[in-house]
Amino acid sequence: GRAHSTSVPLALPCGLTKMHPLALMSMKSMKISPGCSMELAKIKTHFWKPKGLAIAVVAQYGIMPLTAFLLGKLFHLDPIESLAILICGCCPGGNLSNIFSLASKGDMNLSILMTACSTFLALGMMPLLLYIYSRGLYEGDLGSKVPYKGIVFSLATMLIPCAIGIFLNEKPQYARLIIKAGMTIFLMSSVAVIALSVISVGNHILIIFSPPLLGTSASTPLIGFLLGYGLSAFFKLNHQCRRTVCMETGCQNIQLWSAILKVAFDPEVTGSLYFFPLLYMVFQIGEGLLLVLTFRVHERIKRPNGKCNFAPMSEETSPTILFNSS
């Protein structure tokens, strides 16, 4: 299969290796930003009236695994490639969705709850979904490769910074500064990751990845974004919640996906598919940023007519107020 014949030796550029510790620090600081726009009262509301949360969970574990499975069939991927994208589709939402939700002025309370719930549910849903969809593609128990400790660690590293952000939200002057700083770091990090990724594999991308694999990695997050928004619109969620479900559905936990790939398959079997999460992340970030820009432009155009029906937020925590100066 193609996965066996694409073992092109590549090394990450020095810049990417050197920035790794800095990137980790940046990610930690960015994780605090979403918490700065959360309110405990609204978190309780989503628990007592879980319509948005239920739709988001269905989108995460209904749309994404099925999308990954069908795209593997549509693009005629070989078994190893199909399994790689299937594992991605079965992963929970990642922290990137919280940043995108914040940047697109979504409902941050729903965003954090959705990421937390999807990560917690991954303890049971990932083995189940992998068992259902991988039959005929993988000989063995793929569910046993799920890194449960990694899932719990991911949940903790998300909730702790958010708790810090909620605490800082009691001091609006600091919360605004942290949110703006987090967005600045995110934009700079996104540009750096995309640029260094292109430098790393750009010249060899058509050698490493077949066109069907490129098409799959570009289509999966985009379909997740669009179907997540469409499903939430069908059930008449407000615009903030639609943006949130959109981002939560399209963004997957890339770190968890990479960990499973390394545990489940030997390097000589997967070859260059170890670069697949990097390629997917580039498309996920790029498409997410385009959607954020689209949402922001649409809101600015509609604002004079008063046609944007956003859920009410307090002045201190409203992303609209926080981003008006940007």
Q: What is the largest CA-CA distance in the chain?
A: 59
Per the structure, the complete domain to which residue 229 belongs is given by 11-323
Q: Give how far Cα 184 sits from Cα of 22, 138, 188, 226, 278, Å.
A: 14, 42, 6, 26, 22
- Residue 221 within any structural domain of the chain: yes
Using DSSP, how many helices (H) and how many strands (E) does the chain show? 17, 0
Of 258, 255, 256, 230, nearest to 245 by C-alpha is 230
User: Which alpha helices (H) appear in 235-314, and where do they start and end?
Assistant: 239-250, 254-264, 267-270, 276-302
- Residue 2 within any structural domain of the chain: no
- Residue 17 within any structural domain of the chain: yes
| CATH classification at residue 315 | 1.20.1530.20
pLDDT in tens, the chain (326 residues): 333 333 333 344 444 444 445 455 555 556 666 666 666 777 778 778 888 889 989 999 999 999 999 999 999 888 888 888 999 999 998 778 888 888 888 888 888 888 888 889 998 999 899 888 888 776 666 666 777 788 888 777 777 777 777 776 666 666 667 666 666 776 777 677 667 766 666 666 655 677 888 899 899 999 999 999 999 999 999 999 999 999 999 999 888 888 888 877 777 666 667 778 888 888 998 999 999 999 989 888 876 554 444 444 444 444 444 444 43
Asked if residue 326 lies in contact with residue 109, where contact means CB atoms within 8 angstroms, the answer is no
- Residue 3 within any structural domain of the chain: no
- Residue 41 within any structural domain of the chain: yes
Judged by DSSP in three states, 198 sits in helix
Number of structural domains found in the chain? 1
**Tokens 């510790």 sit at which residue?**
21
CB atoms within 10 A of CB 132: 12
* Pairwise CA distance, residues 310 & 155, whole Å: 29
- Residue 5 within any structural domain of the chain: no
- Residue 38 within any structural domain of the chain: yes
